[in-house]
Amino acid sequence: MNRRPPSGPGWGIFWMIVTGILFVAVTALVKILGPRIPAAEAAFLRYLLGLVFLIPMAGSLLRARLTRRMTGIFVARGMVHTCGVALWFFAMARIPIADVTAMNYLSPIYVTLGAALFLGETLALRRIMAVVVALLGALIILRPGFREVGPGHLAMLFTAIFFGASYLLAKLASDDLPPAVVVGMLSITVTIGLAPLALANWVAPNFSELLILSGVACFATAGHYTMTLAFRAAPLTVTQPVTFLQLVWAVLLGAVFFGEGVDPYVILGGMVIVGAVSFISWREAVLKRKAVTPAFHQTKN
C-alpha cells in the first residue's frame, strides 16, 4: 500500500527549500566540470548515470498503462527537454551561476503564455502585466547595449522556452499518472534524445569528470522528486516565493567559491521575475481552486 507523503504549508516550504539546495548543488558541480566536455555529452552522461536512480521506480513504470496520447506527450516532452538541458549545460559553463539561476525563473512566464496559446486558458490583463514585468526583469539582467550579451545568455533564453514547454507537457501527464512515472519517463526519453547529440562530438571523460556527473545525476534526480513533493504538499502560492532563496544561494556560491562578482542588476532582475511569477501563482489560487498550469521554476536538468 502506498502511503501519501505528509502535506501542509510547512512541508511544502520545507521540500521547496530542500529542492533549492539540491539544484544549487547541481549548478556548483556543473560549474566545476567546466567546458572541456561538450554540453550535449555532459547532459547525456548526467542522464545516463542517473538511470540507476530509476530502480526504485521500476515497479511504477512497469505497471503504468500508457495510452497512445500519453506516449506522445512523453515523447514530445523528451524532445523539448533534451534541447533545454543541452542548452543549460552550455550556458552553465560560460556565464555566472547567478545569471543562470535568475534567467531560469523565466520558465513559468513561458508556461503562462503557452497555456493561453495551446491549452485555451484566459490571459487576463493582470497576467499580461505580470508577464511584461517579468520580461522587463530579464532585460534588467541582460542589459543589452550596456554589456555584452554572450552565447551563454542567449542559450538561457531558449532554455527557459524549452523548459516551459516541458512543464506544460508534464502538467498534462501528472493529471493522469503518479510522479514516479512522470519523472522516470522524462529520464528515459531525455537519455535517448541526448545520445546522438553526444556521440556526434564525443570527448572521452576522465574519472573525476564521471564522478562529478554522477553527483549531478544524484542531486538533480533528488531535486526533481522533492520538488514534486513540495507541489503536492502545499499550494503554489506557498511554495513559489520560497524559490527566491535559490537565487540568494546561487549568488553566495558564485561569489565565495568561484570568484564571481555580485551583480546587483542580476539580483534586482531576479527579484522582479520572481515577484511576477508569485503574483501569477497568487492570482490563479484566487480565481480557481485548481490551477490549470504549473509554475515550475528550477532548471530541470
Instruction: Provide the residue range defining the domain that includes 138.
Output: 9-287
Q: Which of 78-92, 118-132, 138-152 has the highest mean pLDDT?
A: 78-92
Q: pLDDT tens-digit profile of 81-123?
A: 999 999 999 998 888 888 888 888 888 788 778 877 776 666 7
Q: Which of residues 61 and 188 earns the better pLDDT score?
A: 188
In a domain, 36, yes or no: yes
How far apart CA 29 and CA 187 sit, in angstroms, is 19
DSSP 111-165: HHHHHHHHS-----HHHHHHHHHHHHHHHHHH-BTTB---HHHHHHHHHHHHHHH
292 part of a folded domain: no
Q: Is 296 contained in some domain?
A: no
pLDDT digits (tens, 9 = 90+) for 267-291: 898 888 888 877 877 766 666 554 4
282 vs 17: CA distance, rounded Å: 19
Asked if 41 and 266 count as a contact pair (C-beta separation under 8 A), the reply is no
Give the C-alpha separation, 88 to 99, whole Å: 12
> What band does 215 get if pLDDT is binned at 50, 70 and 90?
very high
In a domain, 28, yes or no: yes
Contact 296, 227 (CB under 8 A): yes
**1 pLDDT more than 50:** no
In-domain check, residue 295 = no
Q: Is residue 212 part of a domain?
A: yes
Domains contained in the chain, number: 1
Cell of 166: 516541458
Does 294 reside within a domain? no
Residue 281 lies in a domain: yes
Q: Cell digits for 72?
A: 506522445
pTM: 0.78
Count of alpha carbons within 13 angstroms of residue 182, beta-carbon side? 19
